Chain A
Amino acid sequence: MEEKLGEEIVEISAMVNGTSVVLRTPANRTMLSILREDLHLTGVKEGCGIGECGACTVIMDGKVVNACMVLAPKMDGATITTIEGLGDEENLHPLQKAFIEHGAVQCGFCTPGMILSAKALLDEKPHPTRLEIREGISGNLCRCTGYQQIVDAIESVAEGGMEEGR
């Protein structure tokens, strides 16, 4: 079978959720499939595969990106945070706590991406207005919640500050 363009193998070395990761993979794979299939980080969701829904949002070098739109070579040298790296059951991030307290989750499929967009927003702008929060999460589609309890949750963290978390 003929080799398709982009199927050459690249070596990637990245920092994912605080752990150094080295892997060899075809260059035409997306970061989404690498995170989900190779690294088993299934908190990163696929909703559309074309960068429209935001379900695969992760933080890469401090900025939110849609993992479905990033090809493997771009991961080399990058620092990546997924929902799994933000906090776990015993050590919830303040945003995760706030999402629970405010009932900001229904089906939960957009939640990981939504929380990461909120984190990137608050990292850059610790005290946003409600409108700025809405802007900050406007790349993350949610069909269940109508967004209001999500905005409430993020606002409560902004008001309380992020100091208590990491």
Chain B
Amino acid sequence: MITKVVGKRVERVGILDKVTGKAKYGADLEIPNALILKVYRSPVPHGIVRKIDTSEAAGVDGVVRIFTAKDIPGENLYGIINKDQPVLTGEKVRFEGDPIVLVAAEDEESADRALAALRVEIDELPAVFDPNEALKPEAPSIHEKGNLLFERKIVKGDVEKGFTASDIVIEETYETNMLEHAYIEPEVGVAYRDEDGCVVVLVTTQNPHSDHAQLVSILGVEPEKVRVIQTETGGGFGGKLDISVQPFLALAAYHLDRPVRMVYSREESFQATAKRHPLKIRMKTGATRDGKLTAMKAEIIADTGAYGSYGIAVATRAAVHATGPYEVPNVYVESKAVYTNNNWSGAMRGFGVPQIAVAHESQMDKLAESLGFDPITFRMMNAFTTGSVTPTGQTLNASVGIRETLKKIRPYYEQLLREADATQLSGLTGMKYGVGVASMWYGIGNTGHPNPSSAQIEVDHEGNVTLFTGAADIGQGSDTVLVQIAAETLGLPFDKIHLVRADTTLTTDAGATSASRQTYISGRAVYEAALEVRKQLVERAAKVFKVPANLMVCEGGFFFPQYREFQKLSLTDIIRRSLVPGEVIRGEGYFNPETTSLDPETGQGVPYTTYAFASQVSLVEVDLVTGQVGVVKTISAHDVGKAVNPANVEGQIFSGVAMGIGMGLFEQFYPRKTKSLDTYLIPTAMDVPEITPVIVEVPEPTGPFGAKGVGEPALIPTAPAILNAIHHATGWWVNRIPADLETIRGLTSADEMEKSKS
């Protein structure tokens, strides 16, 4: 199919404002007369709130109002999957940072003085910070229903029989790190009540319609009394799916006759928002001598911290993806999300899949080495193909590009092996070089749940074309991609389409910007809306030309009857001749990919319609003296179905590799200790190597122009590829991330001790 806009590196929507400093993020909105909001948070990780004395704080100059749990008119409980998190807690605190009191003041200094003048008495309770400990009967109970939030099982075939039939079985425990999203823009928003009494919240978010639903419930008002508008958003990575400042803003705007404004400091952003679930994974994998996987058993425990957030989704995704992109006839997985008194864990780029990939990809390399296969050959022997059956019993019918990605990285793998050898020979002593491979699969959209998107396109009587989408662009580029899809389908130039996005009054629900779903699901909804508009336009044009609609051609913004291009009329001409002022042509689009819920006992079902696939190879250097690991080169091949905008896809790949380097090598959030970016280090330009992106396009029949998604897949293979490269360089298997200086130095000294003994 020849496309004119889709598949092209068009200029990003909104980029001009971003490079000139004109783009308005939440903190840049100037709201005259706005009050400042600040929150008093629990200084202890577990306890009962005995007394809140606000009298002194209320008397502080400049303080306008102090709110506690009893000021919440609706339900003081929220949560995106299970509701277990209070907006302001009046009874129990479950982590160091739980919000208790909200202060509205004329300025920041007054708000700070009020916070210092609050007297909150908390009876401290014993806390539990380890999910295994939290599961013991004697553990302190964090929520009334107990500390086990959720358990997901996946059962396929007979795993024990599978192990019996194996020639080799490898069993290992893996541990992954708690991570902070560290988007550069902290949480921020403003709110006011408009002339109709509607509470309007302008906020940084990746989930405007969900924010809206939650605020409606918290305020206990009719849906039309709340409006959420997404501001320009400075990154999200899953961390802006849960509400943060939203309920505080809405609550204060609801009660007060003044606009309000709230900005999290970096420290508050670190303390108060979700983290990546650390996982403990016990994985056992069997294979035959000739290299076929026979069985895989995994036990997964995810620390979801004080609240559920996306814990259920993370435990489920980790379980569903636990084999990796390989056919395994016998599978048994138990995956638990467990409450502790740590910071709450939620969504972060990949929902448990980047964590589980560390386990399945390490297992693949261990098996390959033991059986004498190179890592690509062994993966190729087991990789999914059309017709393969996944652990949930789903037959993959289309767009299975995993083998293509492996083929694409093969030559790079060979080249990097030669480079590693050559560098090793000429390099410094104490430096080791190695090459590692990792692959991944990732289901697009929510797991086993309906997750529709909707969109509208309108053409007014002057020929203005407007796309309405609820999809929040948080920097990843959905604005651009959705406009490309609309333009391509309508046969219009890219810049002809005006965009209205992520405003709960003007746009309908497109679902969250998460699960790598916006290009695939919202893209298809936009495509459907555009098809409908195109059909109507062609009918109008046919009337103008007095020919049957099936003889009309629509191309490059012009309409003409077949073979009569010389008579062509522009969209505006057609519109002016066929619409009266005030009349609009409107198309509705809707898409909800087919899924089924997973069986609660066996996990069998169709969790996603389509999957993305990727394979990556990295060359690393290991400094045995300092313990530092550096990634020298990375080649990453992604099957995205169709790259609607190749520059955006490459941007996601670069981004994912960078984030994966932090995850694999140095990022670690320590609850109650990590405060800001001075101790939580994220990759700088010096930590990230030159990356070669390889785009593989095995079209997905249900996707717009064949597209799937890439946002999260980009990250997933990075950490395991690094671990496998460290093994190739040093002979050590590193089974926990990050593989930081201490880990590597520890392995060096253990090796030296071993040598001195012999």
Contact = CB atoms under 8 A, between A and B. Distances in A.
Interface stretch (A8-16, A70-78, A96-104): A96-104
Nearest to A131: B686
Given A108-B234, A138-B685, A52 B677 contact: yes
Contact of B676 (A52, A83, A101): A52
B212 to A, nearest CB: 22
Interface in A45-71: 45-50, 52-53, 55
B105 to A, nearest CB: 14
Contact of A108 (B232, B237, B678, B684): B232
Contacts of A129: none
A48 to B, nearest CB: 4
B647 A103 contact: yes
Interface residues of A, number: 57
A52 to B, nearest CB: 4
A6 interface: no
Contact of B15 (A48, A100, A145): A100
Contact of A96 (B19, B25, B232): B19
A81 B89 CA distance: 45
A40 B17 CA distance: 16
A107 B677 contact: no
B659 A138 contact: no
B724 interface: no
Nearest to B25: A109
Interface residues of B, number: 57
Contacts of A144: 235, 475-476, 651, 655
B320 interface: no
A47 B21 contact: no
B56 interface: no
A82 B292 CA distance: 60
B539 interface: no
B183 interface: yes
Contacts of A100: 11-12, 15-16, 19
Given A53-B184, A100-B19, A108-B18, A148 B654 contact: yes
Given A52-B677, A134-B686, A138-B685, A106 B477 contact: yes
Interface in B461-485: 474-477
B676 A99 contact: no
Interface string B645-684: 0011011011111110000000000000000111000101
Interface centre among B232, B237, B685, B691 (most CB of A within 10 A): B685
Contact of A109 (B61, B235, B658, B682): B235
Interface of B: 9, 11-12, 14-25, 27-28, 30, 61, 181-186, 232-235, 237, 265-266, 474-477, 647-648, 650-651, 653-659, 676-678, 682, 684-686, 688, 690-691
Interface of A: 1, 36, 40-50, 52-53, 55, 82-84, 87-89, 92, 96, 99-103, 105-112, 115, 130, 133-135, 137-151
5 contacts: A43-B20, A100-B16, A103-B15, A112-B19, A145-B654
